[in-house]
Amino acid sequence: MRFVTRLWKRHVRKRPDEYQAYVSLPTRDDDPSFGEVHDCIERLEHVFEGRLDVYARTRRLAVVSDPVSADRFDADAFEAALESLEDCYEARSLARVEKWRPSDDRLVKSHVVVPVKPLFPPDRATDEQRIESVVE
């Protein structure tokens, strides 16, 4: 019966019982300063009602939230926090994975977010320079 209930919540209602997040924040020399990263963490902390743990890892910070009940989770504030994170890491784009997991007779939707460098960095040449190189 639990399996059917989880399927109902996930596929029919599309609403879990709780939300959780894991965010990896690179901290290399070419990445944002710790002050900018701190602001991003504060926004996430507001969304998850202060239920965050921040871990220092090699060349990155890991931000892990405790599950927050669906009725207290603000999806719009979470999206705004991720937009500010994307603005903070302007040379990167956010890779996002959503997972639905059972936990103690509840269904938890986990968000895994990692800023990643693009496979092909944007070309710094202007449109006029590109046209000139093609004409020549």
For the chain, give the secondary structure using H, E and C: CHHHHHHHHHHHHCCCCEEEEEEEEECCCCCCCHHHHHHHHHHHHHHCCCCEEEEEECCEEEEEECCEEHHHCCHHHHHHHHHHHHHHCCCCEEEEEEEEEEECCEEEEEEEEEEECCCCCCCCCCHHHHHHHHHC
**Predicted TM-score (pTM) of this structure:** 0.73
For the stretch 23-58, pLDDT in tens is: 998 887 676 767 778 888 899 999 998 889 999 888
What does the domain layout of the chain look like in residue ranges?
2-135
pLDDT of residue 13 exceeding 90, the answer is: no
Question: What pLDDT is attached to residue 1?
Answer: 61
For the stretch 113-134, pLDDT in tens is: 998 887 766 655 555 655 565 5
